[in-house]
Amino acid sequence: MPKQAQKKKGLLSYILIVIGALMASFSVALILLPNDAIDYGTAGVAIIISKLTGFHLSLCVLAVFLPFVIAGYVVLGRNFTVKAALGSLVYTVGLAFFEKIPFELNTEHFLAVAFGGAILGAGLSLILRNGGCIDGSEILANIVVKKLSDNTGHDYSMTPVLLLFNALVYLTVFVVIDATAALLSLLVYVVATTVIDHYTDHFEAIKQVTIITQDPDGIIRDIREKMHKTCTIMESRGAIAGENNTLICYISYFELPMMKEIISTHSGSFSTVSTIDEILR
């Protein structure tokens, strides 16, 4: 891909992350919180702290998310962390702005939460599809999965980590706030993750990248050096291109931008991405 086109694509991804973060903060500040529901993940933790202490929500979100951003920079690298930091900053500023707007969605809590969860999910989908995130639980899950993969050589899904983290958040809401808030918040999670799964094809699952190329050595070298991953190599033959190699690599959703960048630097390569529900050993 030409450098000019890469720059335009990169700029567009940052713009979409900003839009997604504003959509998420709008939903949380003006729809979910006024209807006794909270966000999930570390944003949910920040909301609980804000409700218990009276501190401004935007400051609580920033304080809770900052350690995860730092950990993401150390473990996951600069490219991922820059987009995560941008998304979280815009989300925090958006919360501070929307909190001051006198707005109330006069309808049943159930409808408001379903509508707010859908907007939240759409915003998060924009962020995730463009290589960012605004939730520390996703960074935590990435770090846990990466450490497990590095130590065992096996690939793991982020789903168990995310489910456990959010289960603890909702249990805390149930105990320290009330049962209604916990159930409404659970509905937010169901609606938002359904929208996210629809537009990101199960971002928490393992991704299989299949690469057909005539330059396997260069791609394998970059994958090893930049991603610390390995590949399965198979000889193959195209009807037109002739002899080539097929590479299969398993990665997380958040590693896809780096993989796409590697593939784009090697001309004559063709690749597909699919979601893996389970790996048998």
Question: Which helix H or strand E contains 110, and what residues bound it?
Answer: helix 109-129
pLDDT at residue 111, as a whole number: 86
For the chain, which residues make up each domain, given as ranges? Answer: 3-200, 206-276
- CA neighbor of 31 nearest in space, from 177, 187, 207: 187
Tens digits of residue pLDDT in 232-277: 888 888 777 778 889 999 888 878 878 888 888 888 788 999 888 7
Tokens linked to 121: 């999910």
pLDDT at residue 3, as a whole number: 65
Q: Which amino acid is at 6?
A: Q
pLDDT at residue 46, as a whole number: 92
Could you tell me which residues come within 8 angstroms of residue 262 by beta carbon, excluding any fewer than 6 positions away?
219, 222, 223, 226, 227
- Distance between CA atoms of residues 95 and 61, nearest Å: 9
Determine what percent of the chain is predicted with pLDDT higher than 70: 95
Tens digits of residue pLDDT in 2-53: 667 667 777 888 999 999 999 999 999 999 988 888 888 888 999 999 989 9
pLDDT at residue 239, as a whole number: 74
Class of the 206-276 domain? Answer: alpha beta
More confident: 33 or 154: 33
- Distance between CA atoms of residues 69 and 280, nearest Å: 33
Tens digits of residue pLDDT in 48-69: 999 899 888 888 998 998 888 8
